[in-house]
């Protein structure tokens, strides 16, 4: 349930009503102050809340029930788009955020070289796996803490904020200290204990959609993080499992406008994991921008044929540079149209 206050309602009247509703109904309230409206989002069991009594308040414009099970993630609770600030850049809003780098960190020379390449092409974040969840226990599992240290070296060399995946709760303190954006992978999307602990931090969390998860399940996982106090959540569509076997996964482009309608959180797209084929990355990345994605996460490797992980879906730095040129043109056209409107 949300309570929409009338424009220009005095702050003291908002506080009085908030405290009154909380005390009489045993619910908590998330207060959202927008440019024109103030919204009180009721969280908890609202079945016994008397909406007509609240509407009787002279400063209340309307009271609406929220049918979806997610509240804090819901756009009704937060009408304006959320922008996640990371150091000197951001994800969400009018600018397209591009995260690029190898699937896994292999050596200092490799990660630093790629970091410099993607930065020169316009990427604002460096991705790289230190801990790699793999289907086979015999596959390369990443360099672990050594990989984290190498990512820090690349950040020192380029200034790019680093994005990498966390695997377990016992690494949270280390990640909070060393990592700029903590990624929760598709396999961990419903590791609720991990999500709750990450929710107690203030670090930006990049939450990937699970292999066979619905949009609602993705949003509910984000709700777990936000319910613990961390509002810095970024969603990521990375393809879902379908009957099709030609590609690694099936990229669900419809999830982007759907999530934009349902939630205020930024949503980015990972075309590399979606297709699993390097030559599909470019058209899928452009399609993601066209449907309104807030950003892209793209795998770039200087020697894909000899990559220790997912080389078949990684593009070379020169291909990435050309892609960024085309994407920037798309963004410029989009911004021109918005200015015309």
Q: How confident is the prediction for the chain on average, in pLDDT?
A: 92
pLDDT in tens, 117-171: 999 999 999 999 998 776 777 677 778 899 999 999 999 999 999 999 999 999 9
Over 50: is that where the pLDDT of 275 sits?
A: yes
User: Do 171 and 297 reside in the same domain of the chain?
Assistant: yes
**Could you give the angle at the alpha carbon of 268 between the alpha carbons of 264 and 272, nearest 5°?**
160
Query: What's the pLDDT band for 187 if we cut at 50, 70, 90?
Result: very high
296 and 167 fall within a common domain? yes
Please indicate, yes or no, if residue 73 is contained in any of the structural domains. no
Question: Which CATH number covers residue 128?
Answer: 3.20.20.70
Residue 270 maps to a domain = yes
Q: What is the pLDDT of residues 278-333, one digit of tens each?
A: 999 999 999 999 999 999 999 999 999 988 888 899 999 999 999 999 999 998 87
pLDDT attached to residue 43: 87
Task: Give the C-alpha separation, 75 to 286, whole Å.
Answer: 26
Q: How far apart are CA 172 and CA 126, in angstroms?
A: 19
Residue 32's pLDDT band (boundaries 50, 70, 90)? confident
Q: By the 8 A CB rule, do 109 and 154 touch?
A: no
On whether residue 166 sits in a domain, the answer given is yes
Same domain, 156 and 248: yes
- The pTM of the full predicted model, rounded to 2 decimals, is 0.90
Q: Do 310 and 278 share a domain, yes or no?
A: yes
Task: Find the mean pLDDT for residues 21-47.
Answer: 86
Same domain, 273 and 318: yes
Domain assignment of residue 70, yes or no: no
Shared domain for 133 and 190, answered yes or no, is yes
Q: What is the domain extent for residue 168?
A: 84-340
Whether residue 105 is found in the same domain as residue 162? yes
Cα separation, 149 vs 134, in Å, equals 21
**Per-residue DSSP letter, 137:** T
Other beta carbons within 10 angstroms of residue 160's beta carbon come to 25
Residue 264 lies in a domain: yes
What is the structure's pLDDT at 337?
Answer: 52
Tell me, yes or no, whether 37 and 170 share the same domain. Answer: no
Question: Whole-angstrom Cα distance, residue 253 to residue 100?
Answer: 20
- Which pairing describes strands 89-91 and 84-86: parallel, antiparallel, or unpaired? antiparallel
């Amino acid at each position: 349930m949300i309570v929409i206050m009338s424009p220009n309602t005095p702050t003291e009247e908002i506080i009085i009503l908030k405290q009154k509703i909380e005390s009489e109904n045993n619910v908590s309230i998330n207060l959202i102050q927008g440019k024109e409206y103030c919204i009180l989002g009721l969280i908890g069991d609202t079945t016994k809340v008397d909406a007509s009594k609240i509407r009787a308040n002279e400063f209340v414009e309307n009271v609406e029930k929220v049918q979806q099970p997610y509240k804090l993630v819901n756009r009704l609770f937060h009408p304006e788009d959320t922008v996640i600030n990371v150091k000197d850049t951001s994800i969400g809003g009018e600018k397209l955020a591009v995260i690029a780098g190898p699937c896994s960190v292999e050596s200092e020379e490799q990660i630093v070289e790629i970091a410099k390449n993607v930065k020169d092409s316009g990427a604002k974040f460096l991705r790289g796996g230190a801990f790699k969840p793999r289907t086979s226990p015999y596959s390369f599992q990443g360099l672990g803490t050594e990989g984290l240290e190498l990512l820090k070296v690349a950040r020192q060399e380029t200034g790019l904020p680093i994005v990498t995946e966390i695997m377990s709760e016992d690494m949270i303190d280390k990640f909070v200290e060393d990592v700029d954006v903590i990624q929760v992978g598709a396999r961990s999307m419903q590791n609720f204990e991990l999500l709750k602990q990450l929710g107690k931090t203030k670090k930006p969390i990049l939450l990937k959609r699970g292999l066979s998860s619905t949009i609602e399940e993705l949003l509910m996982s984000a709700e777990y993080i936000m319910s613990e106090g961390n509002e810095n959540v970024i969603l990521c569509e990375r393809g879902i499992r379908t009957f099709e076997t030609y590609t690694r996964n099936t990229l669900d482009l419809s999830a982007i406008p759907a999530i934009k309608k349902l939630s205020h959180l930024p949503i980015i797209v990972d075309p590399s994991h979606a297709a699993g084929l390097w030559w599909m990355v470019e058209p899928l990345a452009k399609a993601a921008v066209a449907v309104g994605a807030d950003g892209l996460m793209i795998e770039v490797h200087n020697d894909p044929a000899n990559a220790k992980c997912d080389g078949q879906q990684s593009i070379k730095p020169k291909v990435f540079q050309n892609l960024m040129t085309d994407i920037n043109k798309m963004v410029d056209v989009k911004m021109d149209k918005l200015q015309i409107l």
